[in-house]
C-alpha cells in the first residue's frame, strides 16, 4: 500500500499557486535490477564502501549489485573517488536496463537513526529534481544489519526527507516549476502493516511541517493575527474528533487581565487574537497533560525602540511567529496521527508589535495576568511580554509540563549560531526527555544555564521587574523573565529558536522544532515512567545487542563496589538496556585513573575522556568490563554524569575485543559534545573483521 502526501489548501493564500508534494511512498521487497524506474539510490556509509585487496566490495548488497552490473559500480566509485562521505554522490547511467541510473549517496561515518537518513531522502529528492525523474527507489547498503525497529525508523526518516526535500513554497511567484517526483519506493526495509503505519505517520508529520513553513513564509500583509487564528480554527474543524479551538478577543483578554500581552498589541490596526487549541486523545484516557506555547508576533517593528540600521533584519520580522507556526503545525500533525494517552494544549498569543499613538512607550508599566508588574525599558523585547500572559494562561489549565518555543533573542544566535536552538529549564528530567527527542528528530538543541544571579540585571526601581537586562547573557535573562510567570509545580522549558527558524541560504522557513514536539508527544502518549524509561524507548539507533549479552548484563547490573556508589555515576546506555556503574571521584591536576568493579576480569571496553580538552587539565578515565567468551562489539549510546555533564570532553572507545586487552583491537570515535547534559553516540561503527 502506498501513501500519498495530499494537497491541502491554506486559506491564507491563492489556491492555484499552492504546490504541495503529491508523492506516493511505498515499502517494497524486490530484486534491485528487477525494479523499474528512473533512479535507484543507494545510501552507503564510509564503512560500506570498504573494498578488499581485489577491489571488491565487502558489503554484501554493494557486492551483489556490482556483480549484476558487471563491475561498473566498483569502477565508477573508484573513478569518482567516492568513499561514502556525507554530502558526496556519484551517478552511474544504465540506458539498457529497467532502471536508468544508479546513484550512490554518501551517509558519512555511520549514523544515528534519523539525521543521515533524513538527509538521504533530501538528497534523493534533489537528484530527482535535477534529472526530472518521477520514479525513484532507495535502498541502504547496510539495511540487512538493522534491527526490525530500526528499519521502521529509518524508513520514516527517508520518507520525511524525500517529501520535505521535494517541497518548494511557490505561492507568491508568478511562475513556478512543479516537481516531477511522484513515486518513492523504499527497498530492503521490509513490508507489512508496521512499516505502512510508519510511512503514514511520516505523511502526517510532513503535512504539519509544510503547514508550519507556509505560515512562517507568508508575509505580514497576508498573515495577520486574525488570519492565524482562522487557520487554527480550520485545523480544529478538520480534526474535530480530537481537536477543539478557543479564540479569545481583546475584551476576553481584558477580562483575564492580560495587560502584558495587550500592551504589545495596542499599537496595531490588526487586533490581537489569543489562540488555544486542545488535543484530547481518542478513548479519553489521559496519562499526561502538557502545553506547547508558541510566540506569535506576525510582525515585529520593534515598537518605539524601532529596528533600524544595518543588520537589524526588520525585513525578516515575519519570521517572529516561527514558534507559533511550529506549535500549530504540530497540532495539525497530531490531529492526523491521533496518539493516545496524552492531552496537549497549543497556545499562541498572536499580535503585531507596531508604532502608533496608542502604542506602548519605553518606561510604561504593564501588569501581567498573574499580577506581576513589568517596567518596559525596551519595546523591542516584546515577545517575552506576550509569552508572560500565555504561560500564566497555560498554568491555569492544570498541566504537568509546559514548553514554550520562541524566536526570542539575537543573543542566542550569537551564542549558538544559526543552526542550534537554546534550551532553558530548571528540570533535568524534562531536559533529558527533550534532548533525547532531538537526537531522534535530528533537530539541534543545546541546554543553556539558568543563572539565577543574573536576575539582578532584571530588577526595576518602580516595578517588579524590567523586560530587558544588560547586553551580557541576554538569552539567559530572557529565560529568567519567562520563569517568573510559571507555577513552580509545573515542569517548564523555554526553547529559543531564533537561529534555526530560517534557512539563510534558501531564505525560507525551516519548519524547525515540530519534529521535537511530535517525538516528545509520542513518548508522553505511551509512557508514564521515569526518564530512564523515556530514553530507552525514545532513542532508536541502528544497533541492537545479542540477547544473551543483554541478559547477562542485566543480571549483573547491580554488582557494583559499594565504596564507589556515592561518588559518581555514569549511565552507559546500550541498546535496550541501562547499566549503572559507580566510578571514583577524579583527582585535581594529577592524571589519576579510576575504574568500575568488573562483572568479569576481562576488559572489553574502555571509555576515555581526554585531558587535552578539559578546561582545567583533569584526566577522567573509566573502564567498563564485559563478559568473557562472547564476541560482541559494544556500542556506547549515552553517558550522563549525575544527570548532566559538567565539562566539555572528547571520547573514544578502545579495546572492544572481549578476549581482553589486545594491541590490534579496533579503535573508533564517539561523538561527545557535552553541555548540561548532552548525549554520546557513535559516529563510526567498528571496522569489519
Residue 119 pLDDT > 60: yes
pLDDT tens column, 258-294: 999 999 999 999 999 999 999 999 988 899 999 999 9
Which secondary-structure segment (H or E) carries 288? Answer: strand 286-300
* Res 112: pLDDT: 55
* Domain 3-189 fold: 3.40.220
**Helix 193-217 vs helix 514-526: crossing angle, to nearest 10:** 140
* Res 116: pLDDT: 87
**Residue 199 and residue 155 in contact, taking contact as beta carbons nearer than 8 Å:** yes
* Res 260: pLDDT: 99
* Res 569: pLDDT: 29
**Average of per-residue pLDDT values in the chain:** 77
When pLDDT is averaged across residues 433-454 and rounded to a whole number, the result is 91
**Residue 173 and residue 16 in contact, taking contact as beta carbons nearer than 8 Å:** no
| Residue 392: CB atoms within 10 Å | 23
Give residue 674's pLDDT band: very low, low, confident or very high (50, 70, 90). Answer: very low
pLDDT tens column, 622-652: 323 322 333 233 333 333 333 333 233 333 3
| Residue 621: CB atoms within 10 Å | 18
Residue 588 pLDDT > 80: no
Domain boundaries, the chain: 3-189, 219-532, 543-682
Residues near 85 by beta carbon (within 8 Å), at least 6 away in sequence:
46, 106, 108
Q: CA-to-CA distance for 184 and 135, rounded, in angstroms?
A: 6
* Res 145: pLDDT: 83
Q: Count Cβ neighbours within 10 Å for each residue of 466-484 and write b for 16 or more, e otherwise.
A: bbbbeeebbbbbbbbbbbb
* Res 20: pLDDT: 61
Give residue 305's pLDDT band: very low, low, confident or very high (50, 70, 90). Answer: very high
And the C-alpha cell for 338?
Answer: 491521533
Residue 592 pLDDT > 80: no
pLDDT tens column, 129-174: 999 999 999 999 988 888 888 899 899 999 999 999 999 898 998 8
pLDDT tens column, 491-531: 999 999 999 999 988 889 999 988 888 888 877 776 543 33
Percent of the chain that is helix, strand, coil (3-state, to 5):
35, 20, 45
When pLDDT is averaged across residues 84-89 and rounded to a whole number, the result is 90
Residues near 407 by beta carbon (within 8 Å), at least 6 away in sequence:
295, 319, 320, 321, 322, 323, 383, 496, 497, 498, 501
- The runs of H, that is alpha helices, within 507-610 are 514-526, 531-538, 547-556
Residue 250 pLDDT > 90: yes
Residue 619 pLDDT > 50: no
Residue 656 pLDDT > 50: no
When pLDDT is averaged across residues 25-36 and rounded to a whole number, the result is 90
Active centre residues (catalytic)? 307, 384
* Res 111: pLDDT: 56
Give residue 365's pLDDT band: very low, low, confident or very high (50, 70, 90). Answer: very high
Q: CA-to-CA distance for 442 and 464, rounded, in angstroms?
A: 40
660: left (phi over 0), alpha (psi -120 to 50) or beta: left
When pLDDT is averaged across residues 207-223 and rounded to a whole number, the result is 96
* Res 179: pLDDT: 77
* Res 17: pLDDT: 42
Closest CA to 327 of 228, 254, 417: 228
φ and ψ of 343, to 5 deg = -105, 125
* Res 22: pLDDT: 84
Residue 617 pLDDT > 50: no
* Res 479: pLDDT: 98
φ and ψ of 299, to 5 deg = -160, 140
* Res 526: pLDDT: 63
Residue 353 pLDDT > 90: yes
When pLDDT is averaged across residues 196-211 and rounded to a whole number, the result is 94
Which secondary-structure segment (H or E) carries 654? Answer: strand 651-654
Give residue 31's pLDDT band: very low, low, confident or very high (50, 70, 90). Answer: confident
Please report, rounded to a whole number, the percentage of residues in the chain having pLDDT higher than 70.
Answer: 72
Q: CA-to-CA distance for 22 and 45, rounded, in angstroms?
A: 30
Say if domain 219-532 classifies as CATH 3.30.870.10.
no
* Res 607: pLDDT: 33
DSSP E strand boundaries for 22-88: 24-28, 37-44
Give residue 304's pLDDT band: very low, low, confident or very high (50, 70, 90). Answer: very high
Q: CA-to-CA distance for 146 and 129, rounded, in angstroms?
A: 29
* Res 527: pLDDT: 56
* Res 519: pLDDT: 80
Give residue 109's pLDDT band: very low, low, confident or very high (50, 70, 90). Answer: confident
pLDDT tens column, 520-568: 887 777 654 333 333 333 333 333 333 433 333 334 333 323 222 222 2
Amino acid at each position: 500500500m502506498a501513501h500519498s502526501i495530499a494537497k491541502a489548501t491554506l486559506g491564507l493564500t491563492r489556491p492555484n499557486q499552492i504546490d504541495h508534494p503529491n508523492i506516493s511512498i511505498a515499502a517494497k521487497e524486490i530484486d534491485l535490477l528487477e525494479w523499474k524506474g528512473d533512479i535507484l539510490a543507494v545510501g552507503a556509509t564510509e564503512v560500506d564502501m570498504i573494498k578488499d585487496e581485489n577491489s571488491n566490495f565487502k558489503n554484501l548488497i554493494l557486492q551483489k549489485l556490482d556483480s549484476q552490473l558487471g563491475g561498473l559500480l566498483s569502477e565508477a566509485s573508484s573513478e569518482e573517488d567516492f568513499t561514502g562521505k556525507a554530502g558526496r554522490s556519484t551517478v552511474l547511467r544504465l540506458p539498457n536496463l529497467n532502471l536508468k541510473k544508479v546513484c550512490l549517496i554518501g551517509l558519512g561515518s555511520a549514523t544515528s537513526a534519523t539525521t543521515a537518513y533524513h538527509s538521504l531522502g533530501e538528497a534523493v529528492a534533489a537528484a530527482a529534481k535535477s534529472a526530472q525523474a518521477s520514479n525513484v527507489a532507495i535502498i541502504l547498503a547496510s539495511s540487512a544489519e538493522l534491527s526490525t525497529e530500526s528499519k521502521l525508523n529509518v524508513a520514516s526518516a527517508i520518507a520525511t526527507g524525500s517529501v520535505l526535500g521535494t517541497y518548494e513554497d511557490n505561492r507568491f511567484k508568478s511562475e513556478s516549476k512543479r516537481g516531477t517526483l511522484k513515486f518513492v519506493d523504499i527497498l530492503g526495509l521490509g513490508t507489512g502493516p508496521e512499516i505502512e503505519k510508519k510511512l503514514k505517520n511520516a505523511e502526517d508529520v510532513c503535512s504539519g511541517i509544510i503547514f508550519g513553513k507556509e505560515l512562517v513564509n507568508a508575509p505580514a500583509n497576508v498573515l495577520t493575527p486574525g488570519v492565524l487564528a482562522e487557520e487554527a480554527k480550520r485545523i480544529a474543524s478538520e480534526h474535530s474528533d480530537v481537536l477543539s479551538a478557543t479564540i479569545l478577543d481583546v475584551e476576553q483578554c481584558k477580562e483575564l487581565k492580560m495587560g502584558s500581552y495587550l500592551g504589545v498589541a495596542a499599537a496595531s490596526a490588526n487586533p490581537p487574537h489569543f489562540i488555544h487549541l486542545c488535543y484530547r486523545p481518542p478513548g479519553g484516557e489521559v496519562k499526561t497533560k502538557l502545553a506547547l506555547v508558541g510566540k506569535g508576533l506576525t510582525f515585529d517593528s520593534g515598537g518605539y525602540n524601532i529596528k533600524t540600521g544595518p543588520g537589524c533584519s526588520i525585513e525578516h520580522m515575519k519570521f517572529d511567529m516561527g514558534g507559533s507556526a511550529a506549535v500549530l503545525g504540530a497540532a495539525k500533525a497530531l490531529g492526523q496521527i491521533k496518539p493516545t494517552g496524552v492531552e496537549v494544549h497549543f497556545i499562541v498569543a498572536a499580535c503585531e508589535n507596531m508604532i502608533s499613538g496608542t502604542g506602548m512607550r519605553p518606561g510604561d508599566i504593564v501588569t501581567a495576568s498573574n499580577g506581576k508588574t513589568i517596567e518596559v525599558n525596551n519595546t523591542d523585547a516584546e515577545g517575552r511580554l506576550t509569552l508572560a500572559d500565555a504561560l500564566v494562561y497555560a498554568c491555569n489549565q492544570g498541566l504537568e509540563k509546559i514548553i514554550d518555543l520562541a524566536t526570542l533573542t539575537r543573543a542566542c544566535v550569537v551564542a549558538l549560531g544559526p543552526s542550534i536552538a537554546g534550551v532553558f529549564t530548571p528540570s533535568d528530567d524534562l531536559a533529558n526527555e527533550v534532548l533525547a527527542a532531538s537526537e531522534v528528530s535530528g533537530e539541534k538543541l543545546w541546554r543553556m544555564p539558568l543563572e539565577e544571579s543574573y536576575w539582578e540585571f532584571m530588577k526595576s526601581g518602580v516595578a517588579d521587574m524590567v523586560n530587558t537586562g544588560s547586553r551580557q547573557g541576554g538569552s539567559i535573562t530572557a529565560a529568567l523573565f519567562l520563569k517568573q510567570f510559571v507555577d513552580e509545580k509545573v515542569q517548564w522549558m523555554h526553547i529559543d529558536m531564533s537561529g534555526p527558524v530560517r534557512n539563510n541560504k534558501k531564505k525560507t522557513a525551516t519548519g524547525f522544532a515540530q519534529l521535537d514536539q511530535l517525538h516528545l508527544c509520542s513518548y508522553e502518549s505511551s509512557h508514564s515512567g521515569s526518564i530512564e524509561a523515556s530514553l530507552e524507548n525514545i532513542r532508536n539507533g541502528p544497533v541492537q545487542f545479542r540477547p544473551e549479552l543483554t541478559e547477562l548484563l542485566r543480571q549483573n547490573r547491580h554488582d557494583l563496589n559499594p565504596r564507589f556508589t556515592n561518588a559518581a555515576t555514569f549511565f552507559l546506555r546500550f541498546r535496550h538496556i541501562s547499566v549503572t556503574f559507580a566510578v571514583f571521584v577524579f583527582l585535581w591536576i594529577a592524571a589519576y585513573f579510576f575504574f568500575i568493579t568488573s562483572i568479569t576480569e576481562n576488559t572489553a571496553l574502555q571509555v576515555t575522556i581526554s585531558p587535552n580538552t578539559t578546561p582545567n587539565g583533569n584526566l577522567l578515565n573509566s573502564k567498563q568490563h564485559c563478559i568473557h567468551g562472547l564476541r560482541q562489539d559494544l556500542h556506547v549510546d549515552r553517558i550522563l554524569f549525575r544527570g548532566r555533564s559538567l565539562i566539555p570532553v572528547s571520547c573514544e572507545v578502545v579495546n572492544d575485543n572481549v578476549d581482553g586487552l589486545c594491541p590490534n583491537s579496533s579503535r573508533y570515535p564517539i561523538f561527545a559534545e557535552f553541555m548540561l547534559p548532552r548525549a554520546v553516540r557513535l559516529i563510526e561503527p567498528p571496522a569489519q573483521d
